C-alpha cells in the first residue's frame, strides 16, 4: 500500500511513448483507441474521452480494459463507504481476536494433556533418523511466539507476490490488490493491498522489518491482539491515504504492508524508547527506538507536505499515529473492555451446547 511511485511512473513513461523497464512483468497504460470519435449531440461523451480511462497490460499478455476508475474526480462523499468499512472491520477484528483468545485459553488444558500423551507415545515409537517432518518441527519450535505468528502473514505476502507474476491475473491484482480512492472498488483493497507487493525488494524490506519486531510486539500484546492490531492498521492507514489523496487531488494506486508495519514499529518504539536499533547495512551506527520513530515521522511529514511520490507518506503517518494512539490509549479503551463481548459469547456457546445435548437424548 505504501509504494505508490511504481504505478505513477509507468503511467508517465507510456503516455510519453516509452515503456517502464526493470520489472519482469511490467504494467503500463495506454489510450483505449488510437483515434477519438466525434461524439454525437444526442449521446454523452464516452468516459475515456472525459477522464482518460486507462488500459492496463502485462508485457506478456494482451491489453485488458480496466473499468475501475470513476469518470470524474472522487469527492469526500466517496469516503463514506471506506469510513464505515474501516470502523466495522476494526471492530470485527478486535472482537474476533477476543473470542479467539477465549477459545484458545479454554482449550489450553485439554491440549496440554493431549500433547503430553502424544509425547509419551512418541517415546515408545522407534525414532526415525533424518525425518523431514521432525526437522521442520524442530525449526518451528526454535522460533519465538512472535516469529511463529508473523510466519503466516509473510506466507500470505509471498503468495500475493507470486500472483502478480501471472499475466492473466494482472487486471484482478490491479483492481483488488492496489488501493486507490479513484477506483470503483474501494473497500476490499483497503485490506488486500496490505498483503500486496509488486517489487521483490519492497516485499523483502517490509517482511524483514516485520520479522525483526515480531517478538517484541507479540510479547507486548499477545498473539490475538497483535493480529487484530496489524489487520486494523492496514485498513486504517489505507483510509488515511484515501483522505489525503482526495483532499490534495493527488490520485494513484498504492500497495504494500508499510502502513501496518509502521503501526507495529511505532507501538514497539513507544513501549521501548531506549531500545537500541541499527540499520542492517550499517550495523556500526546505533540509535534509540524513540529517536528512530521521531526521524521516521519527520521524514514522512516532510514527504507529505512537499509532495514526494516515492512512498505513500500519508499511509506511513496514519499507521504510525494509530500505533502511538493504541499503546497509549487504545489498549485500555478497546482490549481491556472486551469482557462483555466474551461473556456474551460464552453464554451463547453454553446455550447452544445445552440445546445440542438436550436434542441428543
Q: How far apart are CA 157 and CA 154, in angstroms?
A: 5
**What's residue 20's pLDDT?**
39
Please report the sign of the dihedral spanned by the C-alpha atoms of residue 65, residue 70, residue 73, residue 76: negative
**What's residue 319's pLDDT?**
94
The answer to whether residue 27 sits within a structural domain is: no
The answer to whether residue 29 sits within a structural domain is: no
The answer to whether residue 179 sits within a structural domain is: yes
**What's residue 124's pLDDT?**
55
Asked if residue 170 lies in contact with residue 66, where contact means CB atoms within 8 angstroms, the answer is no
The answer to whether residue 21 sits within a structural domain is: no
Please report the sign of the dihedral spanned by the C-alpha atoms of residue 143, residue 147, residue 151, residue 152: positive
**What's residue 285's pLDDT?**
76
Paired with 277 in beta bridges are 287
Paired with 179 in beta bridges are 254
The answer to whether residue 45 sits within a structural domain is: no
**What's residue 347's pLDDT?**
87
Running along the chain, 361 residues long, what does each successive block of 10 average in pLDDT?
Answer: 46 39 36 39 42 35 38 72 95 94 82 62 54 81 89 96 93 93 90 93 92 92 94 95 89 90 94 81 77 90 84 91 94 91 88 63 47
The answer to whether residue 62 sits within a structural domain is: no
**What's residue 66's pLDDT?**
40
Q: How far apart are CA 303 and CA 309, in angstroms?
A: 8
Number of domains making up the chain: 1
The answer to whether residue 203 sits within a structural domain is: yes
The answer to whether residue 253 sits within a structural domain is: yes
Asked if residue 179 lies in contact with residue 255, where contact means CB atoms within 8 angstroms, the answer is yes
Q: Strands 276-279 and 282-288: what pairing?
A: antiparallel
**What's residue 334's pLDDT?**
92
pTM score over 0.85: no
Paired with 17 in beta bridges are none
The CATH number of the domain holding residue 317 is 1.20.1540.10
B/e letters for 239-258, b = 16+ CB within 10 Å, e = fewer, are bbbbbbbbeeeebbbbbbbb
Q: Which residues are catalytic?
A: 258, 316
Q: How far is CA 346 from the centre of its chain?
A: 31
The residue range of the domain holding 94 is: 76-108+146-347
Asked if residue 211 lies in contact with residue 148, where contact means CB atoms within 8 angstroms, the answer is no
Amino acid at each position: 500500500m505504501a509504494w505508490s511511485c511504481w504505478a505513477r511512473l509507468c503511467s508517465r513513461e507510456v503516455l510519453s511513448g516509452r515503456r517502464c523497464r526493470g520489472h519482469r512483468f511490467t504494467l503500463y497504460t495506454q489510450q483505449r483507441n488510437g483515434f477519438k470519435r466525434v461524439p454525437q449531440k444526442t449521446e454523452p461523451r464516452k468516459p475515456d474521452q472525459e477522464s482518460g480511462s486507462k488500459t492496463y497490460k502485462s508485457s506478456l499478455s494482451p491489453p485488458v480494459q480496466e473499468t475501475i476508475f470513476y469518470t470524474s474526480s472522487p469527492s469526500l462523499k466517496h469516503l463514506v463507504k471506506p469510513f464505515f468499512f474501516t470502523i466495522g472491520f476494526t471492530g470485527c477484528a478486535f472482537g474476533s481476536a477476543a473470542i479467539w483468545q477465549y477459545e484458545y485459553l479454554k482449550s489450553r488444558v485439554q491440549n496440554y494433556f493431549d500433547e503430553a500423551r502424544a509425547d509419551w507415545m512418541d517415546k515408545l515409537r522407534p525414532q526415525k533418523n533424518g525425518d523431514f517432518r521432525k526437522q521442520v518441527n524442530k525449526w518451528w519450535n526454535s522460533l519465538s511466539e512472535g516469529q511463529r505468528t508473523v510466519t503466516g502473514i509473510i506466507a500470505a505476502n509471498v503468495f500475493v507476490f507470486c500472483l502478480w507474476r501471472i499475466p492473466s491475473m494482472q487486471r484482478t491484482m490491479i483492481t483488488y490488490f492496489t488501493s486507490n480512492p479513484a477506483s470503483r472498488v474501494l473497500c476490499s483493497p483497503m485490506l488486500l493491498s496490505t498483503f500486496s507487493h509488486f517489487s521483490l525488494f519492497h516485499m523483502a524490506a517490509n517482511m524483514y522489518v516485520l520479522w525483526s519486531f515480531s517478538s517484541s510486539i507479540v510479547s507486548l500484546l499477545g498473539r490475538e491482539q497483535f493480529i487484530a492490531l496489524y489487520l486494523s492498521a492496514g485498513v486504517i492507514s489505507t483510509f488515511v491515504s484515501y483522505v489525503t489523496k482526495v483532499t490534495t487531488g493527488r490520485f494513484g494506486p498504492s500497495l504494500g504492508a508499510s502502513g501496518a508495519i509502521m503501526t507495529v514499529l511505532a507501538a514497539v518504539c513507544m513501549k521501548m524508547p531506549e531500545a537500541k536499533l541499527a540499520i542492517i547495512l550499517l550495523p556500526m551506527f546505533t540509535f534509540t527506538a524513540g529517536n528512530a520513530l521521531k526521524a521516521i515521522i519527520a521524514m514522512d511529514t516532510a514527504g507529505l507536505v512537499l509532495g514526494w511520490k516515492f512512498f505513500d507518506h500519508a499511509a506511513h503517518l496514519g499507521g504510525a499515529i494509530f500505533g502511538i494512539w493504541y499503546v497509549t490509549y487504545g489498549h485500555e479503551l478497546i482490549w481491556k473492555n472486551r469482557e462483555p463481548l466474551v461473556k456474551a459469547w460464552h453464554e451463547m456457546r453454553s446455550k447452544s451446547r445445552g440445546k445440542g445435548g438436550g436434542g441428543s437424548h
